[in-house]
Amino acid sequence: MNTEKKFLYKELTGKIISSSYNVLNALGCGLLEKIYGNSLAWELELRKKKVLPQKEFNYKFCQTETAV
């Protein structure tokens, strides 16, 4: 019985998951999301994957416009 499923981006998904675990194991818990995001981007670049930076997101909260 073949239980192997076919995924469209299996190799890429495996590299992302593996990189995520490497970052978490190296940094531990409790840091800001931006630190993990930057570290994950660097880890993926080390694996020869192209990574684009997060785009700025504008939003309005309590009648104040801001961006993250």
Q: What are the extents of the domains in the chain?
A: 10-67
The residue length of the chain stands at 68
CB atoms within 10 A of CB 4: 6
pLDDT over 90 at 21, yes or no: yes
Instruction: Please tell me the predicted confidence (pLDDT) of residue 57.
Output: 86
pTM (global) more than 0.85: no
If pLDDT is split at 50, 70 and 90, which confidence band does 1 have?
low
What is the token pair recorded at 59?
């939003």
Give me the residue label for tokens 């660097």.
42
Q: Between 54 and 2, whose confidence is greater? A: 54
